[in-house]
Amino acid sequence: MNQLAEINQIEVFSTNFGSISHCPRTDLLTLKFSGKTVTYKYPCLQRLNKVINQVDLAKMTDASHSGLEIIFLCGAEDCFVLDIHEILGLKDLLHGTFTMFNLNSTIKDCLQRLI
Amino acid sequence: MKDLVRHKSLLSTEIESSLNQQIKKEAHSSSLYLAMASWCDRNGFDCSAQYFYDQSEEERKHQMKLFHYVLDMGGTAISPDINNIKIEYMSFREVFEDALEQEIAITQSFKNIAAKCHKEQDFVTLEFLNWFFKEQREEEFKARRALELFDLIGEAGTGRWEIDRHIAKIKYSEGEEA
Ligand SMILES: [Fe+2]
Ligand SMILES: [Fe+2]
């Protein structure tokens, strides 16, 4: 990523665990989490959110479970190997991000579209 | 920031998910009717078999209508997997009782989606659903009419043979001609 694009990134949401930012020029979303930086298109991030929400957390705490979950998205190059704390952290980050997306949509409606 | 949510799709996550569930229900209907056609075919009820083959095709069309709508509005249409379809029926009448029950379930399900659309003011989807409401008028009428034939004609003697022949003639005219 060049410096100019980096400057133009808009942070959508961040926590102690990581952040998600949006590039207005390409519409790509950059997820920084657990030492990784991955770039997604919007629908791909939606899929990630869905997959993370479907992880069976109770099962992960089971003695017979490795305690790690492999998050693999079709259409994306990378995968995540996460423990339960990281799953919770990512869940939090994504939840906040989509809340911001929806809030932004509502604000656009109120301030620009419905006046 | 750009409105990524709205730029991507007209449908909210909830409505998209409801429509995908409905896609699955229509696919389920199509499979059910095909199973009913199979049972009727095996048991010598040729007209009823044809009636259910046609119904099965119709349900597939309903499924595809919803499928394309979801995609056209920017959503993700999900191809459903259908299993556990009944193979055997206790009686000729039971086939039609199940058919009516299925249509009622479909109508109720559409009402549910429409209620959700109202709640979030998705009038675009609401208008799209109107076609299905009109269709359900016909679907419930036909299913109810078929069951009426069992009472009118009676199953004794050659009754079931007679009922089968009349099934082919069931039509819904919306009270226009008649
Ligand atoms: Fe249908
Ligand atoms: Fe139907």
Domain parsing of chain B, residue ranges: 13-78+90-167
Span B95-118, average pLDDT: 97
Q: Which CATH class is domain B13-78+90-167?
A: mainly alpha
Chain B residues within an 8 Å CB radius of A42: 4, 8
Question: Are B1 and A12 inside 8 Å of each other by CB?
Answer: yes
A105 touches chain B (CB under 8 A): yes
Average pLDDT over residues A33-61: 92
Minimum distance, in Å, between the CA of residue A98 and any CA atom of chain B: 9
Instruction: Please enumerate in sequence order all residues whose Cβ is within 8 A of that of A48, keeping only pairs 6 or more positions apart, or say none.
Output: A31, A40, A71, A73, A76, A94
Q: Which residues of B touch A108 (CB under 8 A)?
A: 3, 6
**What is the average pLDDT across A60-82?**
85
Judge whether B59 is annotated as a binding position: yes
CA B5 to chain A, closest CA, distance in angstroms equals: 6
Is residue A2 very low, low, confident or very high in pLDDT (cuts 50, 70, 90)?
A: very low
Residue B166 known to bind ligand: no
Domain extent listing, chain A: 2-113
Considering CB atoms only, which of A10, A12, A108 is closest to B3?
A108
Listed in sequence order, the DSSP H helices in B73-178 are: 92-119, 123-153, 159-167
The alpha carbon of B107 is separated from its chain's Cα centroid by a whole number of angstroms, namely 8
Q: Rounded to a whole number, what is the distance in Å from the CA of A82 to chain B's nearest CA?
A: 26
Nearest alpha-carbon partner for A88 in A113, A59, A55: A55
Q: Which of B8, B17, B71, B13 is nearest to A99 (CA)?
A: B13
Q: Is B88 annotated as a binding residue?
A: no
Q: What is the pLDDT of residues B4-63, one digit of tens each?
A: 999 999 999 999 999 999 999 999 999 999 999 999 999 999 999 999 999 999 999 999
